Amino acid sequence: MASETAEVVAGRDFIRDIIDADIAARRTTEVVTRFPPEPNGYLHIGHAKAIWINFGVAQEYGGRCHLRFDDTNPTKEEQEYIDAIKRDIHWLGFDWGRHLYYASDYFDQLYDWAEHLIRSGKAYVDDLPADEMRVMRGSLTEPGCNSPYRDRTVAENLDLFHRMRDGEFPNGARVLRARIDMAAGNMNLRDPVLYRILHAAHPRTGTKWCIYPTYDFAHGQSDAIEGVTHSLCSLEFEDHRPLYDWLIDNLPVPSRPRQYEFARLNLGYTVLSKRVLTQLVRHGHVTGWDDPRMPTLAGLRRRGVPAAAIQDFVRRAGIARANSVVDIAMLDHSIRDVLNKTAPRRMAVLRPLKLRIDNYPSGSGEELVAVNNPEDATAGTRRIRFGRELYIERDDFMEAPPKKFYRLAPGREVRLRYAYFVTCREVVKNAVGEVVELICTYDPATRGGNAADGRKVQATLHWVGAADAISAEIRLYNLLFDRAEPDTGSDLIAELNAMSLVTLTESRVEPALGAATLGEPVQFERQGYFCLDPLSGPNRLIFNRTVGLRDSWTKARATDDQGVEKI
């Protein structure tokens, strides 16, 4: 059965179990979910998990997923974020179709329902200032006490609430509170605030309102209005569920949504907190929300991470209720897995070292054939030009190699990929003793890379022709933070990895890379996966390293390996 295969791919988790049970018990006939971002920042990979769950589950059950902006606080929300969020969700591969909503679409209905609560004696206008309200709310271990305004008459409450709406009072003067239980163990039930006065223009409703519903009063009711069946959110809202249910129970809402919580995603060596990410952007620690070092979807996209890899990653990480920190290596794995199959191969020398082949005829050289992608036969081949003067990677030569180093060294023969075997005959140094050029000889009988006599070499090096290679800037990105679990509470700067961006300006890449296009991944052989950066221009190639290839050589000789990737 095909559907079985699909389920295995999607994975099983407690949320799907709940939905299965609901359908089996006929508690619901359709599955409607929603992804409810607040437009006050960019989406990050943690949101990708929530998006994947909400849209994915709806898709699997033939239901639908709404995109609903939770825009109940005009002092923090902006249109720029709304646009960015839509763009990122589409890029990730999901579509809400015609189901685009805003909590602000329901402000009129919400207002009516607030009056409904007042009329039924379940809400009241409180004049307590914020600080007094806090004191009277009690503490985690002590019950709160009732506000002196708790027993106002319905008429008085209605009058005051109308006047709040009509702008008679300044910010903070009064709030509408639910009348529940000031002694409840759950703080959310100690007469939570439902409406507050905010004289601020709203991106969508303009100046129509000067009172706005709180998250608690807006969320569940919006779910009910839209017919959401399963309202999936993260663990910190668990304590809000009794309030969510209380409101649904006490209001004439058109449907009965249920809230379920799952643990949010945490990634090692990074931070998935809008507060901190916003800080990084505002303080200039990164170049913007789309800085390739950012865990935002915009940053990952610019870095070259395919949407498919992000989906694969969140699927592998799984959904559960236990807080956890996922190893960044798992993300890297998903990225490589996708890119290995799709990225065409090219040769690029990041840190060039000149190599001259003494016995190779001078002139324009010759054309050789290179495979575009050994993982994909349909990717075809391309021609590359070999010549007397080339560049190889500095790291591929050592004058005094340790035993396990089997690349080029004095007197040693290696293969130049798709070309010939070359042997290092002489090392040229400058005045300060740095190696500046290697003089080699080649074996004409090894054209294409195989020796007629069957002899082997231990290494194959990538190279570019000195005559036709083009210059490029290459940006190597490393972990943004030094520690697996950064302390973002105090000194953020102290936690940042000083080597998070290493820019190489002397790189030389094969001519075919001059035609690289935005959004197309490429593998620089033996180096990693790269992509063109949007800042590239006609005469300026800039490549971002998405992720390096797995590398058991540098790994073997790493001594300070704290999990921090070295350049």
Partner RNA sequence: UGGGGCGUAGCCAAGUGGUAAGGCAGCGGAUUUUGAUUCCGCGAUACGGAGGUUCGAAUCCUCCCGCCCCAGCCA
Catalytic residues: 38, 264, 274
Closer CB to RNA, residue 253 or residue 368? 368
Q: Which amino acid is at 448?
A: G
Report, in Å, the least distance between residue 261 CB and RNA. Answer: 8
- Of 451, 469, 373, 360, residue with least CA distance to 414: 451
Considering only residues 476 through 515, tell me which ones interact with RNA, judged by CB under 7 A.
Answer: none
Closer CB to RNA, residue 17 or residue 151? 17
Closer CB to RNA, residue 291 or residue 304? 304
Residue of 91, 149, 215, 260 that binds RNA (CB under 7 A): 215
> What distance in Å separates the CA atoms of residue 451 and residue 454, rounded to the nearest whole number?
5
Residue of 100, 155, 325, 518 that binds RNA (CB under 7 A): 325
Residue of 7, 17, 166, 506 that binds RNA (CB under 7 A): 17
Closer CB to RNA, residue 106 or residue 405? 405
Report, in Å, the least distance between residue 564 CB and RNA. Answer: 13
Q: Does 200 bind RNA (CB under 7 A)?
A: no
CB 374 within 8 A of CB 345: yes
Q: Does 148 bind RNA (CB under 7 A)?
A: no
Residue of 10, 145, 154, 193 that binds RNA (CB under 7 A): 193
> What distance in Å separates the CA atoms of residue 153 and residue 156, rounded to the nearest whole number?
5
Report which DSSP code applies to 104: G
Q: Does 273 bind RNA (CB under 7 A)?
A: no
CB 28 within 8 A of CB 255: no
Considering only residues 172 through 191, tell me which ones interact with RNA, judged by CB under 7 A.
Answer: 172-175, 185-188
Closer CB to RNA, residue 268 or residue 486? 268
Considering only residues 450 through 469, tell me which ones interact with RNA, judged by CB under 7 A.
Answer: 450, 459-460
Query: Looking at 23-31, 117-125, 126-134, 351-359, which segment touches RNA (CB under 7 A)?
Result: 126-134
Q: Does 271 bind RNA (CB under 7 A)?
A: no
Considering only residues 331 through 370, tell me which ones interact with RNA, judged by CB under 7 A.
Answer: 332-333, 336-337, 340, 345
Query: Looking at 117-125, 127-135, 222-230, 504-512, which segment touches RNA (CB under 7 A)?
Result: 127-135
Considering only residues 222 through 261, tell me which ones interact with RNA, judged by CB under 7 A.
Answer: 235-240
- Of 2, 98, 6, 102, residue with least CA distance to 56: 6
Q: Does 263 bind RNA (CB under 7 A)?
A: yes
**Residues 6 or more apart from 428 whose CB is under 8 A from it?**
435, 436, 437, 438, 439
> Token pair of 429, please?
């140094």
CB 242 within 8 A of CB 189: yes
Residue of 149, 468, 551, 564 that binds RNA (CB under 7 A): 551
- Of 194, 181, 180, 175, residue with least CA distance to 133: 175
> Token pair of 293, please?
């070092």
Closer CB to RNA, residue 5 or residue 539? 5
Closer CB to RNA, residue 239 or residue 367? 239
Report, in Å, the least distance between residue 537 CB and RNA. Answer: 28
Q: Does 38 bind RNA (CB under 7 A)?
A: yes
Q: Does 407 bind RNA (CB under 7 A)?
A: yes
Report, in Å, the least distance between residue 303 CB and RNA. Answer: 18
Report which DSSP code applies to 166: T
Report, in Å, the least distance between residue 93 CB and RNA. Answer: 20
Residue of 35, 81, 107, 212 that binds RNA (CB under 7 A): 212
- Of 495, 349, 330, residue with least CA distance to 417: 349
Q: Does 449 bind RNA (CB under 7 A)?
A: yes
Cα torsion 102, 104, 106, 110: sign: positive
Rg, the chain, Cα only: 31
The four Cα atoms 52, 55, 56, 58 give a dihedral, to 10 degrees, of: 150
The four Cα atoms 311, 316, 319, 325 give a dihedral, to 10 degrees, of: -100
Residue of 120, 207, 324, 471 that binds RNA (CB under 7 A): 324
Q: Is 340 helix (H, G, I), strand (E, B) or coil?
A: helix
> What distance in Å separates the CA atoms of residue 136 and residue 149, rounded to the nearest whole number?
12
Cα angle 288, 290, 292 (rounded to 5 degrees) comes to 105
Residue of 64, 152, 179, 415 that binds RNA (CB under 7 A): 415
Q: Does 437 bind RNA (CB under 7 A)?
A: no
Using CA atoms, how far residue 531 sits from 46, 96, 303, 469, in Å, is: 23, 29, 7, 18
Q: How far apart are the first and last CA of the chain?
A: 47
Q: Does 558 bind RNA (CB under 7 A)?
A: no
Residue of 122, 285, 316, 425 that binds RNA (CB under 7 A): 316
> What distance in Å separates the CA atoms of residue 259 and residue 47, rounded to the nearest whole number?
18
Residue of 2, 24, 25, 322 that binds RNA (CB under 7 A): 322
